[in-house]
Structure 1
C-alpha cells in the first residue's frame, strides 16, 4: 500500500471538523462510476422477502454488503440485494424503471433528482414511515437538503462528504522541483493573467513523450503526463470554478438557470483553455466519454494534480503505488469556494414490500447500519454516530482529510444544483461536452444551454441555437 504524505493528524480537531462539516451541509454526489457489482448471493429461501437497494458506487456497496449481512442475521425473513448501476446511466435507467414500475425497493438520490419523484408520489415520506424523531440521528444539512418546502423528508441521509481538494503525486512534483507546501497558494486568474499561479505550475507538470514540459516552446502538445484534470466535471471542476469567479448556476429561488453571465464566461473559458490551449489536461473526447478517466490517469501515475472530493479517496488509496497527499483546491477571483451536496436512500412508494423496505431504511439510518461505510473509509456517513469510524480509518492510513473540510469551514460554499438541473441535465450536458471539445465557443455554449434549459422548464419552444422562435401568425396556427 502506498504511504500518503499527510500523516500528521490531530485526532480531536479532525473529528470535530467532520461533525461540524456535516452540520454545514458537506456532502457528496459524484462517486465512483465503474459499476462493479458485489459478490454473488445465494437464492433467497421460499419464505424470504427480497428487498433490493440501488446505488452507483462500488466502495459504498461493499460496505452495504457487510452491513446487510448483520441485518439479515437479525431479520432472517428478509434478504437484501445491492444493485450497482454506473453513475453515467443511473438516473436515465432509474427514471425508466420507476415509470415502468420496475424500480428497486430503495434507491439513492441526489439533490438534482429527488424533487420530481417526490412530486409524483413515488417516494416514501420518511417522517411518516420512520417517525420525525429519526431526524436527530442524521446530518442536519442533508436532512434540510432533502426536505421540501412543505416540510416532508424524502430519503434517509446516507453520505455527508467534505468539499473539493487537490490530490497530488509527490514524485511528479519533486521531478518538477515543486514543493507540495506551495500548492496551498495556488490561484487562477481570468485568462491566466496577473495573479495566476496555477497555470505556470500546471505547465511545469505536463510533459510530452520527449520529456518536454508545456512551458517549453518545443512542447508537442500531446502530453503523456498531464498536469491536471480540467474537463466537463460538474462537482470537481467547473461548478467550483464558476463559484470562485463569483458566478451562480441558478437564480436565487432555483426556478431558472443564471449561468449565462460574464463571471461564468470567465470561469468556463479558463477551464476550457486548460484543455484546448494549454494542453495541460486530458482531451475532452476522452473525459466526456469516461467520467473516471482522469482519476484512472492519476492512479496510474500519469497525472500530477487531480482535483476531486472525498469520494475519490478510497479508489486513490487502493490504486496508487506512489507517494501522494492532499492540498487545498485552487482559489479564484472570489476566493476558494467548493460545492456541497448530499445523498439519501429513498424508499420506492410502489414497492410490494412496504413494511420490509421500511425496516431496511431504518437500518440504513442507524449507527450500526451505517458504520461499515465509515469504517472502510468509503465515504463520510450522514448518520452522525457512524462518522467517527471514518475518521479512525483514515487516521490509521496516515491520510490528512483536513483540506476537504477546511474549504467548507473557512469560506463560503455553493449549494449543489437543485431539481431544475435534474430535469434539464440531458439538455445542458451535451452542450457543455461540445464546449469542452471546442465545437462550441464558451459564450455560445452558455447562451444556448441556458436558453434551451430555461425554455424546457417553462415549456416555451426554443429554435436551434437557443433563439426563441417568433409566434406563428393566425393562418399558420390553423395548419
Structure 2
C-alpha cells in the first residue's frame, strides 16, 4: 500500500472520546432538513448524535429503512458535542430525550443502571448480523447488552516513508521493552530525531533544545499511547468492577518508558505542547516534523492530502505482543420511547449490515457490523490507503477504553496528574499512586 497526495475527496472523521485525554470531535448542532419523511408514516423515531457530518450517512441509511418500513420515519437530530453530555441527563429526566441516541463507554453505564435504556438482549437477542466482539463487549454491563456498536477505532502506526527509508528504520517490526533487552523503538526514534544542525539523537553533539524533527509521538494520549503500553506490559487500567488499578510495578515500568521517550531520550515532543493540544503531534507529522505517528483511523481524514508519501504499519509491539485500545460509539434505545416497537426496529436496522453500509461507504469510521466493514476498506482503497491494519488489530489483542458509570469523573482526576507526570513535574510512581487514589475516590470506591 502506498499513500500520496493525490486524494481530494472529502472524508469524515470518527468522533471518539477518552475522558480527559484526547479526541472529541465537536460538531455543529441542528437538525438536517432533508430527513426521510413519509406521508403514510405512523411513527416517528428520533435519533440523536453529536456529529453532523456522520448524519449525512445515517440519512442515506434511513432512506433505505423507510422504504422497507414505510410506517416509520426516522428523524436524525444533531446536538453539538459541547452540549451533548449536559443535555443527555436533563432530557432523560424531562422525558424529552431522543428515542435512540449515541453514547460512549464513559457515560452509558449510569443510565443503564437506572433503567433508562432498552435491554437489547430482551429486545433483539442474538438475532442480528455479526458485530465486532470487542466493541460490542464495551456496551455489556451486568451480563446485558445495552448498545449497538456503530463506529469504532483501534490503533496503527503512520510513518513517513522517505524518512524511515533514509534512517534505515523498519516501521513494521518496532518493539518497546522497558528492560531494554528486546527494545528497538528507542534506537529507531533516536535515528529519526534530528536537530537544526542535522545531528540525530543518537549522535554526539545532538542539541535537544533545537529539534526540527521528532521520532515518535509519546504523549498523554490514552487511546493511541499509554493504555496500550500499559496492557502490553501486563498492567490493567481498571478491574472488573471499574476500580482503577494502574499503580503497579507493570504500570510504573510502562508509563516510565513512555515518559522517558520525552524527558530522557528526547525523541518526542514536549508535554507542554501536547498536553493541551491533542492535534499537536498530528500537525507535526503533516509538516514532516514527526516521523512516526501512532494513532487511530480518525487521523486519516486529516492526512489524506498530505504533500508527502506516508503509509501504515501495525502499532508498536510490546512485551506481551500488540494490544490495541478499542473504543467505539454505540446506539442505545430510550426505555421511555413513545413507540417502543418502532424504536426497536430502528435499533435492529442500526445493527445490520445494510443499515451500517452507508457509514462504511462514506469513510466515516469502521462499522461495528462485520459485514459492513468491507465498504470502509473499499472506500479507503479508492484513496490509495490500505486500512486493513486497523481491522487486523482486534485479532491480535485488545484492551478496552475506560468503563463504568462514573468513568468520566475518574478521568477528570487522572488527567491533570498525568499531564504533570508527562511533563516531568511528578515522578512516575508518585503520579500513578496519586492519580489512582483520586480517581477511585471520585467514583466512590
User: Structure 2 length as normaliser, TM-score?
Assistant: 0.81
Distance 1:434 1:32, change over 3 A: closer
Match of 1:55 in 2: 50
Match of 2:112 among 118, 134, 143: 118
Distance 1:302 1:102, change over 3 A: farther
- Give the 5 Å matches for 1:199-210: 199-210=186-197
Match of 1:470 in 2: none
Query: How far apart, in 1, do the equivalents of 2:270 and 2:249 lie?
Result: 25
Secondary structure of the corresponding residue to residue 107 of structure 1? strand
Q: Is 1:311–2:298 an aligned residue pair?
A: yes
Query: How far apart, in 1, do the equivalents of 2:87 and 2:275 lie?
Result: 19
Secondary structure of the corresponding residue to residue 201 of structure 1? helix
Match of 2:250 among 244, 263, 268: 263
Query: How far apart, in 1, do the equivalents of 2:112 and 2:30 lie?
Result: 32
Query: How far apart, in 2, do the equivalents of 1:76 and 1:198 lie?
Result: 58
Match of 1:19 in 2: none
Match of 2:434 in 1: 448
Distance 1:114 1:177, change over 3 A: same
Deviations 1:352-404 (A, max 9, x none): 56566445433322323211111123322112332221232233334333433
Q: Is 1:413–2:403 an aligned residue pair?
A: no
Distance 1:89 1:325, change over 3 A: farther
Deviations 1:201-225 (A, max 9, x none): 2122223444443334242424332
Deviations 1:304-332 (A, max 9, x none): 1111223333433x332321111122222
Match of 2:150 among 152, 158, 175: 158
Match of 2:140 in 1: 147
- Give the 5 Å matches for 1:392-407: 392-407=378-393
Distance 1:277 1:168, change over 3 A: same
Q: Is the 1:246–1:334 contact (alpha carbons within 8 Å) kept by the matching residues of 2?
A: yes
Distance 1:286 1:265, change over 3 A: same
Q: Is 1:66–2:60 an aligned residue pair?
A: yes
Q: Give structure 1 stretches of 5+ with no counterpart.
A: 6-27, 460-479
Match of 1:10 in 2: none
Q: Is 1:334–2:320 an aligned residue pair?
A: yes
Query: How far apart, in 2, do the equivalents of 1:33 and 1:144 lie?
Result: 22
Match of 1:438 in 2: 424
- Give the 5 Å matches for 1:79-94: 80-83=75-78, 85-86=80-81, 91=85, 94=88
- Give the 5 Å matches for 1:35-434: 35-37=26-28, 41-42=32-33, 51-55=46-50, 60-71=54-65, 78=73, 80-83=75-78, 85-86=80-81, 91=85, 94=88, 98=92, 103-129=97-123, 131-149=124-142, 151-161=143-153, 163-174=154-165, 176-179=166-169, 182-190=170-178, 193-216=180-203, 217-251=205-239, 253-316=240-303, 318-351=304-337, 357-410=343-396, 412-419=397-404, 421-434=407-420
Query: How far apart, in 1, do the equivalents of 2:388 and 2:370 lie?
Result: 18
Worse-superposed segment, 379-388 or 64-73: 64-73
Query: How far apart, in 2, do the equivalents of 1:322 and 1:250 lie?
Result: 40
Secondary structure of the corresponding residue to residue 417 of structure 1? coil
Secondary structure of the corresponding residue to residue 279 of structure 1? coil
Deviations 1:6-36 (A, max 9, x none): xxxxxxxxxxxxxxxxxxxxxx866963424
Q: Is the 1:231–1:284 contact (alpha carbons within 8 Å) kept by the matching residues of 2?
A: yes
Query: How far apart, in 2, do the equivalents of 1:118 and 1:204 lie?
Result: 50
Query: How far apart, in 2, do the equivalents of 1:326 and 1:39 lie?
Result: 36
Distance 1:124 1:279, change over 3 A: same
Secondary structure of the corresponding residue to residue 438 of structure 1? coil
Q: Is the 2:193–2:213 contact (alpha carbons within 8 Å) kept by the matching residues of 1?
A: yes
Query: How far apart, in 2, do the equivalents of 1:51 and 1:439 lie?
Result: 48
Task: Decide which structure has greater helix share.
Answer: 1
Residue-pair matches, total: 424
Q: Give structure 2 stretches of 5+ with no counterpart.
A: 5-15
Query: How far apart, in 1, do the equivalents of 2:146 and 2:77 lie?
Result: 20
Secondary structure of the corresponding residue to residue 58 of structure 2? helix
Secondary structure of the corresponding residue to residue 219 of structure 1? coil
Distance 1:221 1:67, change over 3 A: farther
User: Structure 1 length as normaliser, TM-score?
Assistant: 0.76
Query: How far apart, in 1, do the equivalents of 2:367 and 2:155 lie?
Result: 17
The CA RMSD measured in Å over matched residues stands at: 3.5
